[in-house]
Amino acid sequence: MKVAIVKYNAGNTASVINALGRIGVDASVTDDPNELRSADKVIFPGVGEASSAMHSLRSAGLDTVIRSLTQPFLGICLGMQLLCEFTEENGTECLGIVPLKVRKFAADGMKVPQIGWNTINELRSPIFGDVPADSYVYFVHGYFVETGTETASTTEYGCKFSSALVHENFHAVQFHPEKSGQIGRRILENFLSL
């Protein structure tokens, strides 16, 4: 199986590569459109700021490439948010694959960003096979995706938000499966078996 990790100016590629290695999968980190198109699975991790990440994707033509992909695709954290239409983070137009918006957490008595373990519920995606509701996963984010028909799991942090999305071949999680222990491993295995 050929797994490609999208290389751009945001990312948490080392820990994703390590997590895949623990389950016996080698992955390449690439910004080559042909490599991305020919991969069996594509992973789009992200840590960082949305507008600079989108600028990097557009400069390399990767925004068009990502929209054209038809194989199973997994966005992680910022990689999930960038699949949406728009983020309030610096008023950024995103990839527009998922017709939802990304909002900033209101800070009323809440620590922002949310950093740490929280639960996922209302699971409805093949990547959650054998994952129980109320499972704890690891989050680090100051912005969240609103809920909608593409919501594949929800989490509560001051409000209910989408902690996972599914739209056609595009799957995405707000949390970090690569840092979420056995539950995260199971989610990655499920994605790789799609």
As annotated, the active-site residues are 77, 176, 178
Q: Identify whether the C-beta of residue 25 lies closer than 8 Å to the C-beta of residue 191.
A: no
Helix spans in 69-148 (H): 78-81
Q: Which of 143, 78, 139, 82 is nearest to 107 (CA)?
A: 143
d(CA 26, CA 60): 24
Q: How far is CA 77 from its chain centroid? A: 4
Side-chain half-sphere exposure of 55, counting CA atoms within 13 A:
8
Q: Which of 189, 176, 187 is nearest to 14 (CA)?
A: 176
d(CA 101, CA 89): 11
d(CA 86, CA 89): 9
